[in-house]
């Protein structure tokens, strides 16, 4: 059980700290463990790998999809190169998107600023000082139209990292498409829409769990009928890992959250095979190369078994775990930032060898500031060099059958399943979040790693070993200081020209619908088409549903 994993790890962390090493290469380890605490033998024999070819490994594109969700994988089509971007105004972000597409990016990924993520307009007092700082500021349909100006929505796949107000941002995207003659059925992309991991690890929540889960299932139901090519959720392990979890915990807690979403949708009357194929996942590509490759394979196999055996899904499309990967932001260093190019390259290769459907590579300067155009280009070129020069995708699952990879795949699946069983005993993911169990497990793992780092047991090049004194000479991206005033002025003009009576009527209709059980997506679309803003919609729902306040833990 998960408690056994915890006991083993706590024992390791209790060891007497060593002094940081001047040169770690001079001292040999007596044991070799992965960051998840999986012991690595010097040589892994076939018996240690212990997999049954037909049941555990199988063929690519076939259950349990250990070797990939498509028979040909990258031989048929490369992964989508989707660089996460967004800053300042819609105009500035649009320029960055068009630049990236010109440089060979094959999908868009939108970063929203913090006010947008938690449902405030740019002119709200709560947004002061944060407009456009860590993403693009989007308050209205007008902003969304500018953001995608000149970008063919029927040809480009768009991912939006948005959670609490995900349904509203998707409503804006649908409305932009309709104004350009692109029907909802033609749209392709993803909304993250994963509120449980916000309660666990990230904090950009708005509403309490119950109404938040309703928004998610409403979006599931609407897209299944109207936007069938859209991924209605991207269940995210990325932020769980960024908060300090191990690879095993990343898989376990992500799939536990996904189980909760499936159960919620089933409880709302949806059929498993009608919505499951539109569920996608988002994982971290971290440092330990072998463990990361195995992690992706283990997650894919475990999810296939959960969907087929636990939820009795009948369609193979419902069993497939399709995932986007992003290299690990928490591993980037402000010291010797050029070394981040190497880290990102290795992490990206692990994601490719693990079978990712799309990939973002971090820029080398992101530990310092928002990435510059040059840094983003190098990050994109990293993917292109892997794809077109190194060519690991010329054969499907090239590491499949390797004893070390299969051993780690089995270990991660087994340990992740033990965590999921423990979460089930505790009442499911939501109950485990409300009790603080999941957060506590992540915090303990993060603490153990920090102890190991400070003791020199873990090495971060340039931070606690191989250090140099140097000044940074990298170009810095600047956000226009006049942005907030410009955004406030744009919203003022928008409200002056819209039909205020109609806007008020729609907000009242929204409140009535939210008090009942009807699907809210059509109301959201009607609201944004009449220039009701994101903040106004969220304010009305806040008034009705309240806000989430995390439990106080000691």
HEC profile of 328-382: CHHHCCCCCCCHHHHHHHHHHHHHHHCCCCEEECCCCCCCCCCCCHHHHHHHHHH
Cβ-proximal residues to 294 (8 Å cutoff; 6+ apart), any chain: 354, 405, 406, 408, 409, 411, 412
The predicted structure's pLDDT at residue 47: 76
CATH fold, domain 46-454, is TIM Barrel (3.20.20)
Take residue 404 and report the two structure tokens written for it: 């070390």
Query: 150: which 2 tokens?
Result: 């000149």
For residue 90, the Cα-to-chain-centroid distance in whole angstroms is: 22
pTM, 2 dp: 0.91
- What residues have CB less than 8 Å from 33, skipping those under 6 apart? 12, 39, 40
Partners of 285 in the beta sheet?
Answer: 327
Q: Given this model, what pLDDT does residue 53 score?
A: 60
Please name the residues in contact with 325: beta carbons below 8 A apart, sequence gap of 6 or more.
282, 283, 284, 285, 296, 351, 354, 356, 358, 359, 360
pLDDT, tens digit (0-9, with 9 covering 90-100), for 463-496: 999 999 888 777 777 677 788 999 999 999 999 9
Beta bridge partners of 282: 236, 324
pLDDT score at 7? 37
User: Where are the strands (E) in 120-238, listed by range?
Assistant: 158-161, 189-191, 230-231, 233-236
84 in Cβ contact with 326 (< 8 Å) = yes
Q: What is the pLDDT of residue 22?
A: 47
Rounded Cα distance, 27 and 365, in Å: 31
What's the confidence (pLDDT) of residue 52? Answer: 66
Residue whose C-alpha is closest to residue 547's, from 268, 211, 292: 211
Task: Name residues of the chain where pLDDT drops below 70.
Answer: 1-31, 50-54, 478, 553-554
- Residue 280 confidence (pLDDT): 97
For the chain, the domains span: 46-454
């Amino acid at each position: 059980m998960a408690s056994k994993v915890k006991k083993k790890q706590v024992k390791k962390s209790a060891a007497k700290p060593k002094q940081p090493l001047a040169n770690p290469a001079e001292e040999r380890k007596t044991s070799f463990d992965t960051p998840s605490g999986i012991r690595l033998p010097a040589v892994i024999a076939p018996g240690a790998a212990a997999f049954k070819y037909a049941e555990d490994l199988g063929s690519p594109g076939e259950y349990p999809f250990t070797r990939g969700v498509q028979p040909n994988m990258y031989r048929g089509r490369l992964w989508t190169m989707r660089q996460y971007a967004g800053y300042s105004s819609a105009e500035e972000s649009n320029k960055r998107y068009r630049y990236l597409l010109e440089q060979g990016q094959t999908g868009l990924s939108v970063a929203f600023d913090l006010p947008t993520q938690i449902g405030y307009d740019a002119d709200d007092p709560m947004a002061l000082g944060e407009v456009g700082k860590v993403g693009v500021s989007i308050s209205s349909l007008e902003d969304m139209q500018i953001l995608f100006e000149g970008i063919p929505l029927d040809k480009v796949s768009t991912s939006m990292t948005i959670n609490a107000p995900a349904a509203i941002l998707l409503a804006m995207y649908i409305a932009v498409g309709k104004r350009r003659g692109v029907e909802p059925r033609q749209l392709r992309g993803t909304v993250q829409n994963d509120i449980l991991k916000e309660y666990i690890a990230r904090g950009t929540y708005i509403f309490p769990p119950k109404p938040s889960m309703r928004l998610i299932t409403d979006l599931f139901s609407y897209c299944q009928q109207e936007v069938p090519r859209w991924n209605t959720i991207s269940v995210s392990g990325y932020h769980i890992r960024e908060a300090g979890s191990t690879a095993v915990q990343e898989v376990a807690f992500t799939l536990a959250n996904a189980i909760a979403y499936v159960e919620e949708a089933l409880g709302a009357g949806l059929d498993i095979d009608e919505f499951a194929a539109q569920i996608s996942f988002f994982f971290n590509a971290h440092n330990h190369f072998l463990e990361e490759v195995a992690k992706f394979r283990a997650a894919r196999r475990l999810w296939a078994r959960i969907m087929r055996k636990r939820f009795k899904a009948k369609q193979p499309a419902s069993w497939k775990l399709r995932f986007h990967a992003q290299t690990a932001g928490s591993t980037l260093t402000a010291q010797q930032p050029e070394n981040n190019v190497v880290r990102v390259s290795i992490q990206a290769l692990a994601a490719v060898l693990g079978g990712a459907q799309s990939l973002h590579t971090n820029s080398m300067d992101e530990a310092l500031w928002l990435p510059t155009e040059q840094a983003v280009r190098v990050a994109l070129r990293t993917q292109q060099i892997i794809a077109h020069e190194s060519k690991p995708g010329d054969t499907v699952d090239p590491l499949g059958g390797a004893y070390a990879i299969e051993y780690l795949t089995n270990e991660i699946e087994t340990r992740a399943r033990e965590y999921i069983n423990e979460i089930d005993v505790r009442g499911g993911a939501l109950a485990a979040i409300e009790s603080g169990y999941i957060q506590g497990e992540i915090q303990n793992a993060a603490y153990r790693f920090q102890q190991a780092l400070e003791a020199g047991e873990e090495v971060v090049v340039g931070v606690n070993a191989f250090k140099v004194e140097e000044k940074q000479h990298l170009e810095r991206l600047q956000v226009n200081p006049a942005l907030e005033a410009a955004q406030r002025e744009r919203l003022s003009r928008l409200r002056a020209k819209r039909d205020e009576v109609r806007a008020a009527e729609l907000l009242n209709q929204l409140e009535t619908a939210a008090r009942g059980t009807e699907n809210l997506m059509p109301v959201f679309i009607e609201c944004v088409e009449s220039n009701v803003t994101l903040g106004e919609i969220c304010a009305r729902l806040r008034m009705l549903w309240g806000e989430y306040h995390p439990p106080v833990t000691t």
